[in-house]
Structure 1
């Protein structure tokens, strides 16, 4: 087997946990009409097909802004924008219907491709479209009648879930229907966010021109909270970027656990983001009411109180207040209303590019809700920032839990040399290591 084959097998094995994690999950995938025009769109269609074949329940929401602009220019229809919102009169609505209808048919045709020499050979994807989006008029605001421009009133989540359970991909356009039989022009971002919220989707994925969300200096933000996204909102931003950020914020604040932002220009970004450890774009996690932060000297008493029962049982090695005060910067704490409900520590071994996870403790009343997983993820992020390539833990009773977090049992010889010299053979702790 050559190196290329070995690398492929290694990647496939590493992707297996992510494949299992995403199977059966509901994902709303959103992209604008610009993505459809890009040469890489054929690869995106192939990746959508692959996601469906891996058991992901997919709702695809497409935009059509450039296609609408093209139709309006061809028909010499005046473009009316008020407060960054398109006023949709009867002529404009005709162009909207034409553009979105043609685009929807184009995407359906691409998803139906099944030629023998195509990556989608044998996929047999069913695409479902329909009147799943119920809309209402935006109405008259500040004296301006927006006519057939509307907002989402309700998403037919029951109808969409029925199609998803049949194995279909649901394709939604940026138009909605009213109970009075009218058609309204909607914002892509409004449809995607409201759909993700109504379905209680596991993820909202947005495909954008940039590689993800960029900070104030233009650098990619690899991961952040919804709270951080709010700080990116700027009145000077173009309206489309504001709509994108607000869709992410609205989704995260209304139950969607994860949002991802990746580039439609990359032929690997979507799959890399979902099926690799480091991802490719920006991961936005829902804010938690419990705050995770680096410990300070004021947290010493709370950490000691949390560790004391575990030290009394011999599960953790006892630490004095003096030692904890010296090492306090190694700890992270999870607080709820200023009460420390969980903690953990990371001790780096830079020469071995490894870090030791220690003192993982959770208050008995809060041991549900994956708080331990949040602690480990935070320590992994910290270890990566320190340039470490693996983390390890020594434990006598929690081996199974650490295995569930991705750690693998290893002999003591795998420990950093400095840690081997300190290993307590009387405790007979087992060694678990996780590559990061």
Structure 2
């Protein structure tokens, strides 16, 4: 039994190690919905956050309290009122919000203080600092609706938060802000988390939400033929948002996506929507290659884009050394010019540093990822993974369920990223007819 465990644990731990190195000393802002706490997920989420912090990540935790406030209102016989996707906070609702915030802060701090033996919190010393880090202003009257004590973030005490993080404490922020005159305002957790992440220039913003992520076709029913889009470039997320109806409820596709887009537009490189219903969702999203939810990425368009006819020369120059040493099958200029629309390229300062092509076989529901090349000067910087992600996106948008590669030398790189070896007979008939049996390329497949 122990030998089997060793064979599974050691490769797993080695696959996680690069992410531990990468995220050490980075800053993550985590938006924890009140629904997650109401669903009894607080204990496991706190344990995961403690582990992530133990691996050197600086964490700001912003909690929500929507269902808790509604519960308090119901107990007082007072109806919850919303407009424009925001709560209307009258004096009764403000009292309920203050009670709910105090109770939740107590529960969260208590959860981080546990250190029972034989639990993930054993030996953990997580110091939590909370305080008046937010200055707020009133929403005011919008389209004739007086939002009363509902507010928006006016200013974030960035210096105070950073000092707390540098002291190796976790910062806990409730969705409350105060005006310079001391008036309290009820804020939306999502807006607070987005503003804090933007002002801090955080490396990640992660929403633990009711929704599992953004589906490839947000308006269609969930199912295997409509999977979660694990990565959305910012430009594509913007386009999607423009086509979606305005968000009124947290379960609307645009609700969290609009905040992710806003964060990326203000300096947060990666924003995530992940499901709190899945145990360990934070760990899966952060430390596993494909993650579990949707990640919006601020990738500069000039760096990762679809190829044009002007790129043919740069692609030829890039792949030529790899064709000479036998890593790639030789392609002539005419072939690349003909297929240029199939190529994705990575460009730095006008120079092509990476490329990959997608050749669909729609009748078999799959596509070949071919001519995968990264310049020796750029290897190890993540360009290969960016190309893979973009090719996966293009395949999903075509409604395909898998992609495959043929390789003789880079099997391990692909296997590490979710590909599995199959027999060449697996290939679609049209591709099998062109398979070079003398070259004996390994066929690897990844399900999307």
Give your verdict on TM over 0.5. yes
Match of 2:337 in 1: 325
Match of 2:198 in 1: 197
Question: In 2 relative to 1, CA 347–106 (structure 1 residues): closer, same or farther, beyond 3 Å?
Answer: closer
Question: Secondary structure of 2:116's match?
Answer: coil
Q: Is the 8 A contact 2:158 2:200 kept in 1?
A: yes
Q: Distance in 1 between matches of 2:347 and 2:56?
A: 37
Q: Distance in 2 between matches of 1:281 and 1:114?
A: 30
Match of 1:14 in 2: 15
Under a length normalisation based on structure 2, what TM-score does the superposition of the two structures give?
A: 0.77
Q: Distance in 2 between matches of 1:162 and 1:289?
A: 35
Displacement of 1:223 after TM fit?
1.7
Question: Secondary structure of 1:36's match?
Answer: helix
Question: Secondary structure of 1:262's match?
Answer: strand
Question: In 2 relative to 1, CA 9–271 (structure 1 residues): closer, same or farther, beyond 3 Å?
Answer: same
Question: In 2 relative to 1, CA 305–90 (structure 1 residues): closer, same or farther, beyond 3 Å?
Answer: same
2:295 maps to which of 277, 283, 292: 283
Q: Is the 8 A contact 1:125 1:168 kept in 2?
A: yes
Give runs of aligned pairs for residues 232-271 of structure 1, distance below 5 A: 232=241, 234-235=244-245, 237-240=247-250, 241=252, 242-271=254-283
Question: In 2 relative to 1, CA 228–319 (structure 1 residues): closer, same or farther, beyond 3 Å?
Answer: closer
Displacement of 1:153 after TM fit?
0.4
Match of 1:151 in 2: 152
Question: In 2 relative to 1, CA 36–322 (structure 1 residues): closer, same or farther, beyond 3 Å?
Answer: same
Displacement of 1:80 after TM fit?
3.6
Q: Distance in 1 between matches of 2:319 and 2:6?
A: 48
Q: Is the 8 A contact 1:310 1:316 kept in 2?
A: no
1:216 maps to which of 194, 216, 219: 219
Please give the per-residue CA displacement for 1:144-174, whole angstroms capped at 9, x wherever unaligned: 3322111000111111111111111101111
Q: Does residue 355 of structure 2 align to residue 344 of structure 1?
A: yes
Match of 1:411 in 2: none
Unpaired runs of 5+ residues, structure 2, are: 325-329, 362-366, 417-423, 425-434
1:306 maps to which of 296, 299, 314: 314
Q: Distance in 2 between matches of 1:407 and 1:265?
A: 29
Match of 1:412 in 2: none
Match of 1:187 in 2: 188
Question: In 2 relative to 1, CA 203–137 (structure 1 residues): closer, same or farther, beyond 3 Å?
Answer: same
Unpaired runs of 5+ residues, structure 1, are: 396-402, 409-415, 424-430
Question: Secondary structure of 1:50's match?
Answer: helix
Q: Is the 8 A contact 1:134 1:152 kept in 2?
A: yes
Give runs of aligned pairs for residues 1-40 of structure 1, distance below 5 A: 1-40=2-41
Displacement of 1:204 after TM fit?
0.6
Question: In 2 relative to 1, CA 52–358 (structure 1 residues): closer, same or farther, beyond 3 Å?
Answer: closer
Q: Does residue 241 of structure 2 align to residue 229 of structure 1?
A: no
CA RMSD of aligned residues (A): 4.0
Question: In 2 relative to 1, CA 205–310 (structure 1 residues): closer, same or farther, beyond 3 Å?
Answer: closer
Q: Distance in 1 between matches of 2:233 and 2:30?
A: 19
Displacement of 1:9 after TM fit?
2.2
Displacement of 1:27 after TM fit?
0.4
Question: Secondary structure of 2:272's match?
Answer: strand
Matched residues, number = 407
Q: Distance in 1 between matches of 2:15 and 2:445?
A: 11
Q: Distance in 2 between matches of 1:75 and 1:82?
A: 21
Question: In 2 relative to 1, CA 11–153 (structure 1 residues): closer, same or farther, beyond 3 Å?
Answer: same
